[in-house]
Structure 1
Amino acid sequence: MMAPHPLDRPVWSMLTGRQAHLAEGDARAVRIDRGYGPFGAAADRSGTAQGALAALVPADGELWIVEGERWPVPPGTREVKRAALAQMVAEGPPPEARPGEPAIIALGEADAAEMAGLADHARPGPWSSTTHRYGPFFGVREGGRLLAMAGQRMLMPGMAEVSGVATWEDCRGRGLARALIGHVMRAMTARGEQPFLHSYADNAGAIALYESLGFRIRREVHVLAIAAN
């Protein structure tokens, strides 16, 4: 029997693998450091593992479970939302930078407040106080204002997730997201990592953009957000 692909259980894979240093929990269930976001996973569907996962749900927040198959609601918790995601993997070399693309800069701790404000506006996915520390983030500035950003989140063996793609509404339509995603992809490829990403399955516009950059849908995965009863 073939071992499951790390992307079939992405949160479990990241928090028991390359990003285990960000995990809290034990062999039954883990969740990411709360400053980074709400993601968690159980070792399996057993009552013991599900109970351990439920214990990691914050009293005043949510825990997000991302799995290849629909996941049951752990006892003692309640379902907040479910959604289907398109899991996409880049095929072939990353796109080359286009003539006239904006200058792209590295972002860091000094940019954290602006990054959080942009994430709150654009809602690229869960964002918390230290989400910007997942890894390299890049942005486009104009007149001192951060217009757009993109970076990485989950890390798998030989793979890295493009994430945090966000643009202020009045700056959209200028190709900033395309330029930033391409830049992130080239940085990942230079490190020997294959880019992947997740998009809500009903976001046809985003999926079309990702496909134009060389991503192809690998499979559908499911996100379940839960909260304490």
Structure 2
Amino acid sequence: MEHVLDNPIYYALSSAHSHMAKGSDRVKYYVEDITAFAGLKDNSQDDLNTLYQISPAESFFIFFSKTPVEIPEQWKLLTQIDMFQLVFRGKEMPIADVRGITDLDLKHVTEMIDLVELTKPGPFLAKTIALSNYTGIFVNDKLASMAGHRFFPSPYREISAVCTHPDHLGKGYAFKILQEQIKRILLRSEIPFLHVRNDNEGAIKLYQKLGFEIRTDMIAYVIKKEAQTK
């Protein structure tokens, strides 16, 4: 039987995030403005063809696969990102220092989008905050670092959008926010996990220091719907 983390987007959209899903039983994607991710039951040619048929014109999507996927010609492959998937295996509850950590809400979205655009941790849209539990650290009333939740293939909860402004790197802000994120997930009897580019050595070392272990390789495919020709 397939593990839910082998296809985390599909299983999130089939369970805890079903109220945010569009599509069919086999092919699902998040409501526009929340995020651009799609979950495909088998990542097959048939699934990708179905996604093309049921999605709006000029859509673009990101989907994850453990193994290489051949992209059908009606899709344009924008990029492919080789990643590691890590799962929290720590034995103790993090002792998080919550001083200076702010729960982010709708009034912070513009700053959150600006920080993501600058640091490129992954897509963040106008309503991505609906995925919940975004926290940040402000310096001189400007957002310096943040992280939040994304996929929820229960009982696993993904930590995502981990980013820090270049002017504030090396100050321990990401470590502090991640400790709080891990703590909140564990207190709900859930298991933290995350994804990271496999060449981001600094981030990988940080996550391992916090108690994460590499579970598997994962590939992110970013695809755009090409117009049909008559």
Deviation at residue 50 of structure 1 after TM alignment = 2.6
TM-score normalized by the length of structure 2: 0.91
CA contact (8 A) 1:50 1:75 kept: no
Q: Deviations over 1:94-145 (max 9, x none)?
A: 43236xx752111111111111111111111111111112111111123222
Q: How far off is 1:46 after superposition?
A: 5.0
CA distance in 2, matches of 1:77, 1:102: 47
Whole-Å Cα distance in 2 between the matches of residues 87 and 47 of structure 1?
A: 24
Q: Between 59-68 and 195-204, report the one with greater CA deviation.
A: 59-68
- 1:33 counterpart = 2:31: yes
Question: Which range moves more in the overlay, 160-169 or 42-51?
Answer: 42-51
Q: TM-score, normalised by structure 1?
A: 0.92
Q: Residue 90 in 1 paired to residue 74 in 2? A: no
Q: What is the alpha-carbon distance in structure 2 between the residues aligned to residue 151 and residue 55 of structure 1?
A: 32
Give the % identical residues: 28
Mapped partners of 1:160, 1:45: distance in 2:
22
Matched residue, 1:162: 159
1:176 corresponds to: 173
Aligned residue in 2 for 1:6? 4
State the partner residue of 1:76: 74
- The residue identity in structure 2 corresponding to 1:137 is Y
User: How far is the alpha carbon of 1:54 from its aligned partner?
Assistant: 1.9
Which residue of 17, 20, 36 maps to 1:22? 20
Cα deviations across residues 203-227 of structure 1 (Å, max 9, x unaligned)?
Answer: 1111010000000000001111111
CA distance in 1: counterparts of 2:168 and 2:213, whole angstroms: 27
User: Does residue 114 of the first structure (1) align with residue 115 of the second (2)?
Assistant: no
Per-residue Cα deviation, 1:35-65 (whole angstroms, up to 9, x for no partner): 1221112223555423111235554452111
Q: For 2:50, which of 44, 52, 57 is the aligned residue? A: 52
SS at 2:171 equivalent? coil
CA contact (8 A) 2:9 2:153 kept: no
Between 1:197-206 and 1:141-150, the stretch displaced more is 141-150
> Structure 1 residues 107, 191: CA separation in 2 closer, same or farther (over 3 Å shift)?
same
**What is the aligned length?**
225
Matching residue's letter, 2:185: M
Q: One-letter code of the match for 2:189?
A: G
Q: CA deviation at 1:75?
A: 4.5
Shift of 1:201: 0.8
Structure 2: state its 5+ residue gaps.
none
Give the aligned residue type for 1:193. E
For 2:135 and 2:77, the matched residues in 1 are separated by 34
Distance 1:176 1:111 in 2: 18
Matched AA of 1:118: L
CA distance in structure 2 between the aligned counterparts of 1:167 and 1:89, rounded to whole angstroms: 22
Instruction: Give the letter for the 1:22 counterpart.
Output: M
